[in-house]
Structure 1
């Protein structure tokens, strides 16, 4: 049986945000559950308003303590705009984190983190075998592998006419 190979149909820069939390003390449910619920609330807010720029997301767990979301964004400008938008729930959540820190009420029961990456066209490639759209392909669509090249070096060399 032949394997169906595809690649992501991304054009221009790929904007990826990894954001998550680590439960440092499971018994401090009152500390980490609100952080988890805030992340779900932000994802729901972004799903309701696609114009904000979130293209796709994947929820993952790295361990029984660490949970994170891989997010694919339309552009770094839209990611920055959401992060700083006064009307967005992210702004309210981050203001609360800062207030608790200033008041000395951060107890270390839950850790939060994020990493953001802007990968210019030519600096990423993907391959999916018998997979529905996932990851970068879920964010940008997928095309048969042959459209971008059978080998990774060919997919890295691909240049779209559209630049972000």
Structure 2
């Protein structure tokens, strides 16, 4: 995993809308560690599948672990996300059905998700002294150039200015 830090300021270059999917789980009863681990073990298999199946539509992700886990993922479209979730050959449907049958309603483990469709014209992002991260990692990592120095300027030029910077690279 490349963690090279890029000095200076960068933004994300989008050439289309992006679907942002937040998902996680919460260990409510730590003494049920076997159940917690069984639920948690499903996500790495899904991420390996998505990393090796670009047609599934996931553009990238970041994950944080703790009592409540958070995975932020970026998708080409909500249709790609829903198609993955319902695909009998992908590693999501089986674990989801198992969770609903054996864990849901017990209070041992909670799961959650939120989905947002973000228009390319509605994005403002800046990364300063960071490795390639977030939306810039999922789309394009472009330097902040003249006219994109402030959040107000990036909002005013959202989508168009970042695409122009991307095309120049």
TM-score normalised by structure 2 residue count: 0.83
Q: Which residue of 1 aligns with 2:130?
A: 131
Q: Paired residue for 2:32, among 28, 45, 50?
A: 28
Structure 1 spans left out of the alignment, 5+ residues: none
Supply the distance in 2 between the matched residues of 1:26 and 1:156 (Cα, whole angstroms).
Answer: 43
The 1:126/1:109 distance shift into structure 2, 3 A limit, reads same
- How many residue pairs match? The answer is 155
Which secondary structure does the structure 2 equivalent of 1:130 belong to? strand
Structure 2 spans left out of the alignment, 5+ residues: 1-6, 164-169
TM-score normalised by structure 1 residue count: 0.85
- 1:7 and 1:143 in contact (8 A); partners too: yes
- 1:7 and 1:148 in contact (8 A); partners too: no
Task: Summarize the alignment of residues 125-164 of structure 1 with structure 2, pairs less than 5 Å apart.
Answer: 125-146=124-145, 149-158=148-157, 159-160=159-160
Instruction: State the 1:148 CA deviation.
Output: 6.6
Q: Which residue of 2 aligns with 1:99?
A: 101
Runs of 4 or more consecutive aligned structure 1 residues displaced over 3 Å after TM superposition: none
Task: Summarize the alignment of residues 41-120 of structure 1 with structure 2, pairs less than 5 Å apart.
Answer: 41-61=45-65, 64-100=66-102, 106-120=105-119
